[in-house]
Chains A and B, each alone.
Chain A
Amino acid sequence: MKILVAIKQVASLDEDFELRDDDRDVEADFHVFDLNEWDHYALEQALLLKEAGNSDIEVVVVTVGPERADEELRKCLAKGADRAIRIWSDELEEADSVGVARALAALARREAPDMIFAGVQASDHAYGATGMALAGLLDWPHAAVVAGLEYTPGAGTASARRELEGGAYANVTVQCPAVLTLQLGINTPRYASLRGIKQAASRPIETVAPDALGLSADETGPRGSLSRIRRVYVPELGRAQMIDGTPAEQAARLAGIIKELRGEA
């Protein structure tokens, strides 16, 4: 039994960031990297199945990214993932979420897992596309935005509770193997133990190039993508009227605004 968990190293921006000379991204010096918030939940769900199962379940984490993404794979190993794989070649630098999904699909064909989990979206660009693109490429059953899951490893179906808008849910039965994108709140992700962190530091991370997975040059990177970033710019945003001063002064002004809006002043 094997569960594959696709993860992403996401980037947030330093204050006063600058754009790259070609205006197609932010200058890399201003990136601050972390494991995507959703991926903590996806990994946790796999680990919960592993711990609850009678059968032997291997949890494999995979990412598409350069060497610095090893740091996020190690976080997953430290929490209890059995194996970590990083797919990379320089062409993948220019891949969109579909280009990334093509690399993940090639890896999934090699690994032949019984289930694939991914996050609903990534906190940086929030495409909400990679996991479901992977399902389409594999032609596997799928469900997105899963906030509850009943699944016995090896079973032919899973019951998924999809989170809808407005606080409602839809319960669906999905044939397995399936690709599911998991939503925040589906579980309570664990923290890595100190022992886990220490051990993860020396564990191997397999690195593999897309061509070694059988992807042709036409499917890798920009040529395997369905979109291209033409230009990135800093939008003119609205700006709140800032209330300055000491906390006492700020609170006094806030109290005044509240009273005024409530017709009390």
Chain B
Amino acid sequence: MGGILVIAEHRQGQLRPVSIEVIGAAVAAREAGGERVTVAVLGAAPAAFVDALKLAGVDEIVTVRTQTDAFDPDTYQAVAHALIEARKPSLVLLPHTIDTLGYAAPLAVKGNYGFTTDAFGLARDGESWIATRSGYGQKVNMEIEFPGRASVVVTVRPGAFKAPEGAGTPEVSEFDAPALAPRSHHESFEEPAASGDVDIAGADFIMSIGRGIGEETHVEQFRELASSLGATLGCSRPIADSGWLPKAHQVGQSGKTAANCKLYIAMGISGSVQHMAGMKHVENIIAVNTDPEASIFSIAKYGIVGDIFDIAEELRGHF
């Protein structure tokens, strides 16, 4: 027994890229422990995902046929529980995503498995697994251990691990889902709101505003500044939640990824994990913030500790 079990995630027929990163985390972790890597995929027609999961370092792919393709927390919990009880993996890796937030904790408490979330580091200490995650708004790192737990469930931060390079030749098997009657029912997906004239994913230059702008009446001056700089106006979550800018402007996990951005100016944005998920890959990030300890400065290339209104006012004169 033992081994590392990964549960893949897909939505609307597409394997989510984070699944491949989690497999990368498992493959890296096996090098520390030498255990088999098994990837499970659940769905109405799970075989459709098998080819995409045949990656270097994967020993086995397990398909599990479920009633529907759409995510259901009871189904994922029950299947994961049955798989863990059948295989007794030492480590179970799940992506730290919206879907997993719905079933990882119930899975852990029902099985009494070791459990932590949003890990960006994994290590072996003898027979035990150690996970590293952040605490206090990313001001510290926390090493988490799981005393006395034979199986440990860890959700993995998107963007923290690299996908495996190259293909593999894993064996493929089937696993029967346990009988269950889910207590919730997926009705429909809603696509992202129409973006109108805003294209965060396509923009090469974005200037984003955050909570630091203070009031809705201040949005306009930054809209004008973005326009004169030739930048697309982006924002962090609180600005969109307040209705000060349409959701299409939002950069981050629940908004858009600045996929083609070369230059990103963050004005009054502290840099939550969720915001950084949408922009930390940008090569040139410039952060303007009054708080010298703001997380955004840890990923920015250039930083200005200062008042965004003063900087904005001065910047106007240059364009």
Q: Which residues of A contact B (CB under 8 A)?
A: 11-13, 15, 17, 19, 26, 96-98, 101, 120, 123-133, 135-137, 141-145, 159, 161-175, 178, 181, 184-185, 188, 226-235, 237-243, 247-248, 250-252, 254-255, 257-258, 261-262
Contacts and interface: CB of A to CB of B under 8 A. Distances in A.
Interface in B22-74: 70-71, 73-74
A265 B71 CA distance: 51
A120 B135 CA distance: 16
26 contacts: A128-B118, A129-B105, A132-B105, A136-B77, A144-B101, A165-B253, A166-B192, A168-B192, A170-B190, A172-B185, A174-B183, A174-B184, A175-B183, A184-B241, A226-B112, A226-B146, A227-B144, A232-B143, A234-B141, A235-B141, A237-B298, A238-B299, A242-B303, A251-B310, A254-B311, A257-B286
Nearest to A256: B318
B130 interface: yes
A6 B75 CA distance: 26
Which residue among A131, A162, A173, A184 has the maximum number of chain B CB atoms within 10 Å of its CB? Answer: A162
Interface in B119-157: 130, 134-137, 139-147, 149
A124 B136 contact: yes
B250 A167 contact: yes
Contacts of B149: 226
Contact of A185 (B101, B142, B241, B297): B241
B315 A262 contact: no
A136 B107 contact: yes
Contacts of A171: 186-190
Nearest to B18: A165
Contact of A226 (B70, B115, B184, B317): B115
A242 B297 CA distance: 9
Interface stretch (B84-92, B169-177, B216-224, B255-263): B255-263
B304 A243 contact: yes
A235 B140 contact: yes
B184 A172 contact: yes
A173 B184 CA distance: 5
A251 B297 contact: no
A247 B191 CA distance: 42
B306 interface: yes
Given A167-B192, A184-B241, A240 B300 contact: yes
A151 to B, nearest CB: 13
A115 to B, nearest CB: 14
A161 B205 CA distance: 32
Given A98-B105, A129-B104, A168-B192, A254 B303 contact: no
A235 B135 CA distance: 11
A239 B295 CA distance: 10
Contact of A247 (B117, B135, B310): B310
A227 B116 contact: yes
B314 A247 contact: yes
B301 to A, nearest CB: 6
B273 A126 contact: yes
A118 B106 CA distance: 15
Interface string B215-238: 000000000000001100000011
B180 interface: no
A258 B288 CA distance: 14
A98 B108 contact: yes
Contacts of B134: 126, 235
Q: What 6 A-B pairs have minimum CB-CB distances, sorted nearest first? A: A136-B106, A251-B314, A240-B303, A167-B192, A185-B241, A255-B318
A181 B114 CA distance: 22
B252 to A, nearest CB: 9
Nearest to A247: B310
B304 A254 contact: yes
A172 B189 CA distance: 9
B199 interface: no
B185 A145 contact: no
Given A142-B102, A247-B310, A227 B115 contact: yes
Given A144-B102, A240-B287, 14 more contacts: A98-B115, A101-B105, A101-B109, A127-B117, A135-B105, A165-B254, A174-B183, A178-B184, A184-B237, A226-B146, A229-B144, A232-B135, A247-B311, A247-B314
A166 to B, nearest CB: 6
Contacts of A131: 105
B103 interface: yes
A133 B105 contact: yes
B315 A172 contact: no
B204 to A, nearest CB: 9
Nearest to A129: B105
A129 B184 contact: no
Nearest to B263: A261
Contacts of A132: 101-106
A13 B301 CA distance: 24
